[in-house]
A and B are shown apart, each in its own frame.
Chain A
């Protein structure tokens, strides 16, 4: 089963539509048990990171997400979902986040228009099945004012330039996170979800094995 975590993120419907378009029937859930028993978890996100943390906490989901990641189960975090994985964010004052990837979330430089809104290129920094069939420097749709700055660059799987060179795709074990919105990024975005789900749902657990787990 594919679980899409419902913690009040406004773009939940778009994520559901994209996954259904690929032929899957995802479960939209706020039940810890459902999330813990799913083969793949998607953590959507728009809006402020502080609010998102609060909303996750309100449905008892923060430790559940940490557990899913700790157990190296496939999880795809989107936009604010990616930011929540880091230690803390500067958005709206300093807020603690899930702290599963060391690093902070910072404000984009003010020299350019903020939010960073529109289609921008993702430079693939690693070879990974997530990028299968997607050309290097393909365009994806971004909308955000903050960006993640990981301490350990080995998690950086894709980068995008906007005033800074930022981590736009993070991968660690079976955890995947994108700063852009695959559900709003046309064919490449759908392909990325499809690649993730293929890895997550393959019987052999190929996804986990790829990195030798």
Chain B
């Protein structure tokens, strides 16, 4: 049975992880390479690196980070944040990324999704959707935002997810901008609406504050994977605890490669 994936997200700017200064077991919790290796050994199913600075210099540094991580971490790596075109994608893939996440660039030029999928394969192209709940109206609805959630685009999130997949997106990374940072749970309605719309896997993001939230996103939200940053970075929970909790509740998760669990 296909297992549900637990994905820690590393927000990086100028080569440093933004959150996560409370790691007791790491020499330098701000070092994305060291943190990535730590999560790998703990049993993370994939890693996502987001360049939240999204500057040209930051991008060069990210290439170096990805190169170093990919030499010691043997799980899929997704890189996103400020990637504008095919050349950016090629550079990141060449450095060792397995998937490229595009957001603002995809909204402004949807052809980039098709181009990327044609050149590198759909499995490489993750379309990140930042969605905000529309105010008013009888039925729930969400519109997409770009530039890190700052600019509302007036485009319906469900319509956009369908279009992105038609163009060749192999996966959707869905972030709720209402829920993000509040640690009060994922936007389950949004997650299930998108997950039921598209045939490709959906990663739920934004709002994780407890292990119950992860469970809800997978069951009620019907997500294929859950992404979280702060609950792992601040060591509120470990990856291992998260998986043990989900396994206990009957969710299929990969537990056979964590430290001390290897047979």
Known: A113-B224, A135-B256, A135-B263. 15 other contacts (CB 8 A): A10-B93, A13-B93, A17-B71, A21-B72, A47-B120, A113-B201, A115-B122, A117-B200, A119-B2, A119-B5, A120-B1, A143-B76, A186-B40, A188-B256, A190-B74
Tell whether A102 is near chain B: CB-to-CB under 8 Å.
no
Q: List 28 A-B contacts (CB under 8 A).
A: A13-B94, A13-B95, A14-B70, A14-B74, A17-B74, A47-B120, A110-B199, A113-B200, A114-B199, A115-B171, A115-B200, A115-B201, A117-B170, A118-B2, A118-B4, A118-B45, A118-B224, A119-B3, A119-B45, A119-B254, A120-B1, A120-B3, A139-B3, A142-B2, A143-B76, A185-B74, A186-B75, A190-B74
From residue 87 to 138 of chain B, which have CB atoms closer than 8 A to chain A?
A: 93-96, 98, 120-124
Asked if residues A161 and B121 are in contact (CB atoms below 8 Å), the reply is no
Asked if residues B199 and A113 are in contact (CB atoms below 8 Å), the reply is yes
Most buried by A among B5, B74, B122, B263: B74
Most buried by B among A138, A144, A190: A138
Would you give the shortest CB distance from B211 to chain A, in whole angstroms?
19
From residue 12 to 27 of chain A, which have CB atoms closer than 8 A to chain B?
A: 13-14, 17-18, 20-21
Which residue of the partner chain, among A10, A13, A162, contacts B2 with CB atoms under 8 Å?
A162
CA distance A48 to B3 in the complex (A): 25
Asked if residues A161 and B1 are in contact (CB atoms below 8 Å), the reply is yes
Tell whether B257 is near chain A: CB-to-CB under 8 Å.
yes
Report chain B residues within 8 Å CB of A48: 121
Would you give the shortest CB distance from B173 to chain A, in whole angstroms?
12
Asked if residues A115 and B1 are in contact (CB atoms below 8 Å), the reply is no
Tell whether A121 is near chain B: CB-to-CB under 8 Å.
yes
Would you give the shortest CB distance from B12 to chain A, in whole angstroms?
20
Asked if residues A18 and B74 are in contact (CB atoms below 8 Å), the reply is yes
Report chain B residues within 8 Å CB of A131: none
Tell whether B204 is near chain A: CB-to-CB under 8 Å.
no
CA distance A185 to B122 in the complex (A): 20
CA distance A139 to B262 in the complex (A): 12
Asked if residues A120 and B76 are in contact (CB atoms below 8 Å), the reply is no
Binary per-residue interface labels of chain B (50-91) against chain A in the complex, 1 for a CB within 8 Å, 0 otherwise: 000000000000000000001110111000000000000000
**Which residues from chain B sit less than 8 Å from chain A, CB to CB?**
1-5, 40, 45, 70-72, 74-76, 93-96, 98, 120-124, 170-171, 199-201, 224-225, 254, 256-257, 262-263
Asked if residues A117 and B224 are in contact (CB atoms below 8 Å), the reply is yes
Report chain A residues within 8 Å CB of B70: 13-14, 17
CA distance A208 to B128 in the complex (A): 48
Query: Is chain A's binding surface mostly helix, strand, loop or mixed?
Result: mixed
Number of A-B contacts defined by CB within 8 Å: 104
Tell whether A62 is near chain B: CB-to-CB under 8 Å.
no
Report chain B residues within 8 Å CB of A10: 93, 120-121, 124
Tell whether A95 is near chain B: CB-to-CB under 8 Å.
no
CA distance A189 to B263 in the complex (A): 15
Asked if residues B74 and A139 are in contact (CB atoms below 8 Å), the reply is no
Binary per-residue interface labels of chain A (149-188) against chain B in the complex, 1 for a CB within 8 Å, 0 otherwise: 0000000000001100000000000000000000111111
Asked if residues B74 and A186 are in contact (CB atoms below 8 Å), the reply is yes
Report chain A residues within 8 Å CB of B199: 110, 113-114
Tell whether A106 is near chain B: CB-to-CB under 8 Å.
no
Asked if residues A47 and B121 are in contact (CB atoms below 8 Å), the reply is yes
Report chain B residues within 8 Å CB of A18: 74
Most buried by B among A10, A188, A190: A10
Would you give the shortest CB distance from B132 to chain A, in whole angstroms?
25
Knowing A114-B200, A115-B200, the reply to whether A143 touches B225 (Cβ < 8 A) is no
